[in-house]
A and B are shown apart, each in its own frame.
Chain A
Amino acid sequence: MNAILDFVAAVGRGTMAACRAAGALALFAIDGLSHLVRPPFYWRMFGRALREIGYFSLPVVALTAIFTGMVLALQSYTGFARFSAEGAVANVVVLSVTRELGPVLAGLMVAGRIGAAMAAEIGTMRVTDQIDALSTLSTNPMKYLVAPRFAAGIIALPLLVVVADILGVMGGFIVSVLKLGFNAETYLNNTLDFVQPMDVVSGLVKAAVFGFLIALMGCYQGYNSRGGAQGVGAATTAAVVSASILILAFDYVVTEMFFAR
């Protein structure tokens, strides 16, 4: 009997802790978002975050997208060849890249690169009293550190995904034309005829959501880190892992919103 009660108590404690954590995260997100519409705005911090998230992530996102497009063309060709449906390669590549792989892979790559960097920078500021120092210098840390990163994440990810979409399709085009012997004009026509505006729009909406989630988890974990270098390291890991999981979960949610029948 005692063992059962202990088990129930443990489950209850875990549930309560999870609810507390979710509540704290939601309050942090609302607080950060509220500063996006309340002056003063720290444009320099926003510009810096935009450059970090957008510009410096460009090479890694570009390489990921182009190779993904190439692999996708190759894999779908070998699969479709079994049903003599090789002509659908262009359609599959453009649909997969714009709807799914462009935003998700860009999100995961940026989560690894930027989520970790945000958590490490803000976490270090927390454990070295720099965040307290901001407060004593008439500066709200949420407004100065968090809100600009939220805005930059929401804007930079869709821009990166536009690039990823173009390069992903280009990767498929290169393999299809140069290796698989497709006609270049036909391949491009198939691509452009098949893709719908909603395919691209849904990918960009996903990207904006993922950009927000990456910034949220990076800032939240960093802001709440404790205990010196070890705490900052733990916050960095937690930021990347939690952002990656949330990206995959919200990928389903947004897909359901756009394409559920």
Chain B
Amino acid sequence: MSVTRNERAPTSATLAKIRIRGLAKRFGDKIVLDGVDLEVLPGTSMVVIGGSGSGKSVLLKCILGLLEPDAGTIEIDGDDLLAMSRAEREATHRRIGMLFQNGALFDSLPVWENVTFGLLAQDRLSRRAAREVAGELLAQVGLAASVGEMSPAELSGGMQKRVALARAIAARPDIMFFDEPTTGLDPIMGAIIDGLLVDCVKRLGSTAIAITHDMASARRIGDTAAMLHRGKIVWSGPAAALMDSANAVVDQFTHGRREGPIQMELRR
């Protein structure tokens, strides 16, 4: 199974699935996002890379409605999310599946209830049917149906990520967000999870944004990539071009060099 998806590149003629313009967010005096512009085309996956504290997670939380941006627009299918009524915004958010960095599984619930939580919350399933659906979703991420009866604390890190992915795809979202999907996993498990992500996105025909530090993972998941640095997108292009971007900030980050513009800022 090939998990490299760099054959599709954005074209300006296509309507963006997600379009972000001038997004700004600050916490007190700290400016985290300083006019972020991004476009993700339908059916493609964009990887956002950037150092710790560069605002990647804040960017996702703004799109998800977990944080209110100070300025800017977030368009989904051409509709401005921030101009929508609360009900419209909630309906739009229901179309988004999210894989959190640490899985964020609910400790107090068994795995099957975690997986079908969103469907049960929307009354789309009875509890009896939910167990069966959970088994099918777990199979899609390579887990046995019997895992459904376990509690999240009994699972390994890789299994928790798979369960979290099953939960994220349960409502068949047309947009998916992955927050550091391979963090804390060994390289083999990381590659397996990446493969599952790509499979799920492809099967559902979804549009995806993933944020990561992991360059191997970025190339496996992404069609396109963007680098967030000091609250701005400093580079964007095909994910395949990440390692030879001709951008000093991206080059230093992707090659893990000690010398370069990022280190100079740290010294200041």
Hey, which bits of chain A sit against chain B, CB under 8 A?
Answer: 121, 124-125, 128-130, 132-133, 135-139
Could you say which residues of chain B place their CB within 8 Å of the CB of A130?
104-107
Structural contact, A133 and B106, CB atoms closer than 8 A: yes
B209: shortest Cβ distance to chain A, in Å?
A: 14
Q: Does B210 contact A (CB under 8 A)?
A: no
Could you say which residues of chain A place their CB within 8 Å of the CB of B121?
137-139
Structural contact, A129 and B104, CB atoms closer than 8 A: yes
A146: shortest Cβ distance to chain B, in Å?
A: 15
Could you say which residues of chain A place their CB within 8 Å of the CB of B106?
125, 130, 133
Q: A137-B117, A138-B121, A138-B122 are in contact. Are A132 and B104 (CB under 8 A)?
A: yes
14 further A-B contacts with Cβ under 8 Å, apart from A121-B108, A129-B100, are A125-B107, A128-B102, A128-B104, A129-B104, A130-B104, A133-B98, A133-B100, A133-B105, A133-B106, A135-B65, A135-B66, A136-B96, A137-B117, A138-B93
Q: Does B8 contact A (CB under 8 A)?
A: no
- Among B91-114, those with CB < 8 Å from A are 93-94, 96-98, 100-102, 104-108
Structural contact, A132 and B117, CB atoms closer than 8 A: no
Please give me the residue from chain B that is nearest to A137 by CB atom: B118
Bound complex: CA A104 to CA B102 (Å): 41
* A-B pairs with lowest CB-CB distance, top 9: A137-B118, A129-B104, A133-B104, A136-B98, A139-B121, A129-B100, A138-B121, A130-B104, A137-B117
Would you mind naming 28 contact pairs between A and B with Cβ atoms under 8 Å apart? Answer: A124-B107, A128-B102, A129-B101, A129-B102, A129-B104, A130-B104, A130-B105, A130-B107, A132-B61, A132-B64, A132-B66, A132-B100, A133-B98, A133-B104, A135-B64, A136-B64, A136-B66, A136-B93, A136-B97, A136-B98, A137-B117, A137-B118, A137-B121, A137-B167, A138-B118, A138-B122, A139-B118, A139-B121
Could you say which residues of chain B place their CB within 8 Å of the CB of A128?
102, 104
Could you say which residues of chain A place their CB within 8 Å of the CB of B65?
135
Structural contact, A138 and B100, CB atoms closer than 8 A: no
Bound complex: CA A128 to CA B66 (Å): 14
Could you say which residues of chain A place their CB within 8 Å of the CB of B102?
128-129
Could you say which residues of chain A place their CB within 8 Å of the CB of B61?
132
Q: Does B90 contact A (CB under 8 A)?
A: yes
A175: shortest Cβ distance to chain B, in Å?
A: 43
Could you say which residues of chain B place their CB within 8 Å of the CB of A129?
100-102, 104
What per-residue 1/0 map shows which CB atoms of B61-92 lie under 8 Å from chain A?
A: 10011100000000000000000000000100
Bound complex: CA A135 to CA B65 (Å): 9
Bound complex: CA A66 to CA B167 (Å): 49
Bound complex: CA A133 to CA B97 (Å): 10
B240: shortest Cβ distance to chain A, in Å?
A: 30
Could you say which residues of chain B place their CB within 8 Å of the CB of A133?
98, 100, 104-106
Bound complex: CA A136 to CA B60 (Å): 12
Bound complex: CA A135 to CA B66 (Å): 8
Please give me the residue from chain A that is nearest to B97 by CB atom: A136
Bound complex: CA A138 to CA B96 (Å): 10
Bound complex: CA A253 to CA B90 (Å): 41
Please give me the residue from chain B that is nearest to A130 by CB atom: B104
Could you say which residues of chain A place their CB within 8 Å of the CB of B105?
130, 133
Please give me the residue from chain B that is nearest to A48 by CB atom: B108
Please give me the residue from chain B that is nearest to A121 by CB atom: B108
B115: shortest Cβ distance to chain A, in Å?
A: 11
